[in-house]
Amino acid sequence: MSDQGHAADGRARYARQIRLAGFGAEAQRTLLNSHVLVIGAGGLGAPVLSYLTAAGVGRITVVDPDVVELSNLHRQVIHSEAGLGERKVDSARRHLQGLNSSIEIRTNPTLLTTDNALDLIGEADIVVDGSDNFATRYLSNDACEILGRPLVWGTILGFDGQLAVFDAAGGNATLRDLYPVVPAPGSVPDCATAGVLGPLCGSIGSAMAMETVKMLTGIGTPLINAVMVHSSLDASWERVPVGRNPARAAVTDLRDHRGDYDHLGEFDALTTEATTAAPEPTTAAPELAVAADPEAPTTNTPPNLGPAVIRWEQLEQDTVIIDIREDDEVSAGRVPGAQHLPMDALLADPEPNLAHDHVALYCRSGVRSSTAAAQLRKRGYDVSSISGGYLAYLSRG
């Protein structure tokens, strides 16, 4: 198609938003010249990617190592039954190119880690975080603060969701001001264990896409220095102010916060156990960031146990690997040679399954396996959790 033909196609495609008062052709040109990095092609990523592609964001990079499972399809609407077992980034690219073939879609089927975060984020104008674990959320937040990139953040669980825009370059609040204490792995349930209603993903993800467009084009008032809390069951939206903590040191080096990303597997494995009590999950913004009580009693781990967390490449040849995901999660694949035993069943009757010298557990991302390993080690079992779980295994190519 000629340049004139492309221009005519663009005018027709984006006509309804170009004619918006306060938007116009200039905002559309800005979108076409923008590059957005989207972390996650799942429940939140699906509406984010769809609407940014449809709106005409010129370049979109998608980061996600996961594959499409049947249990994804009730909420991850860019995937289909035909793509079961396929990498999510490939399934997403096919869907998005069918929606808008003039957009450049880049894919990266890996976990976001300290090895690649600064490079990936440095290429983008803005980052949208649709991930589902705290390690990735804090890593993307910190990398964005270091590089001066704005971050559109969202989270969902059950019937409730939250979203915010973090822009540290302007001296504004970030995730570390909203939630200063990183929740211990497993202390807040993920969607695989607590569940989530599909349309909620559309509500939060669409709002995240809108905030991204606002940040890129300069229209409206972005959700900076505030978090929006949504309860789908009563259709309420509450805006909670969030301020930059003047006492918080700026994030300047990811290595300074290595403990917050440990289960992603890019740092040396931990050899200590988490001993703080798990907080009750809630969507009320202030309560999620409760610091551990220094006077709380701790449980000592029995001596002479191996490392609590290891990476895939550290597994010994005789290590027994146990997949503790639920039955529906393993339908799309699991690590060759691994045994499958759901977490609850393992914790209820560990003895016959842990009668080996080397046992390592993995789940989807390392959160549940870290929790299970910690509980079993306190009972004297020499068990390790595999950093990053199945997603880290897929990231190895």
Residues 38, 106, single domain; the answer is: yes
CA distance 298 to 223: 40
- Whether residue 331 has pLDDT greater than 90: no
Residue 11 within any structural domain of the chain = no
Examine the pLDDT at 1 and tell me if it is beyond 90: no
Instruction: Give the integer Cα–Cα distance in Å for 6 and 4.
Output: 5
- Examine residue 325 and state whether it is found in any structural domain, yes or no: yes
203 plus 58 within the same structural domain: yes
Tokens of residue 4, six digits: 């004139």
Q: Judge whether residue 218 has pLDDT over 90.
A: yes
Asked if residue 155 and residue 84 are part of one domain, the reply reads yes
Q: Helices 198-217 and 24-32 meet at what angle, rounded to 10?
A: 110
317 inside domain: yes
Boundary residue ending a domain (256, 285, 318)? 256
Of 295 and 142, the structure prediction assigns the larger pLDDT to 142
How large is the angle between the packed helices 45-55 and 88-99, nearest 10 degrees?
Answer: 30
* pTM of model > 0.85: no
pLDDT digits (tens, 9 = 90+) for 367-395: 889 889 999 999 999 999 998 899 999 99
Matching residue, tokens 């010249």: 33
Give pLDDT, residue 189: 61
**Residue with the two structure tokens 């989207």:** 38
Task: Work out the percent of the chain whose per-residue pLDDT is above 90.
Answer: 70
* Domain-located, residue 9: no
* Residues 252, 374 within the same domain: no
pLDDT, averaged across the chain: 86
Q: Is residue 105 included in any domain, yes or no?
A: yes
For 313, residues 6+ apart whose C-beta sits below 8 A from its C-beta are: none
Domain-embedded: residue 262: no
Q: What is the mean pLDDT of residues 272-297?
A: 33
Q: Do 138 and 202 have their domain in common?
A: yes
Mean pLDDT of 124-133: 95
> Residue type for 297, please?
P
Predicted confidence band of residue 84 (pLDDT cuts 50, 70, 90): very high
How many separate domains does the chain show? 2
Same domain, 115 and 47: yes
pLDDT the model gives residue 306: 87
Question: What is the span of the domain harbouring residue 201?
Answer: 34-256
Task: Identify whether residues 86 and 165 lie together within a single domain.
Answer: yes
Cα three-residue angle 228-147-115, rounded to 5 degrees: 100
Shared domain for 184 and 57, answered yes or no, is yes
In this structure, is residue 109 part of a structural domain?
A: yes
Q: What is the dihedral of CA 67, 145, 121, 309, to 10 degrees?
A: -40
Are residues 65 and 172 part of one domain?
yes
Catalytic residue numbers, as ranges: 191, 363
The domain boundary, picked from 256, 271, 289, lies at 256
Alpha-carbon radius of gyration of the chain: 22
pLDDT tens digits for range 220-240: 999 999 999 999 999 999 999
CATH code of the domain containing 377: 3.40.250.10
| Residue 263 DSSP class | G
The confidence band for 396, taking pLDDT boundaries of 50, 70 and 90, is confident
pLDDT at 7: 63
CATH number, domain containing residue 201:
3.40.50.720
Q: What is the pLDDT of residue 165?
A: 98
Helix (H, G, I), strand (E, B) or coil at 271: coil
Tell whether 115 and 225 lie within a shared domain: yes
What pLDDT does 263 receive? 57
Query: What pLDDT, on a 0 to 100 scale, did the predictor assign at position 38?
Result: 98
Q: Which residues pair with 226 in a beta bridge?
A: 241
Is residue 199 situated within a structural domain?
yes
- 248 plus 310 within the same structural domain: no
| Tokens coding 334 | 């699991």
Closest C-alpha to 118, from 106, 127, 131, 107: 127
Q: Among 176-185, 246-255, 265-274, name the most confident range.
A: 246-255
**Does 260 have pLDDT greater than 80?**
yes
Domain boundary among 191, 222, 256: 256
Please tell me whether residues 183 and 320 are part of one structural domain: no
Closest to 70 in 3D by CA, of 93, 92, 86? 86
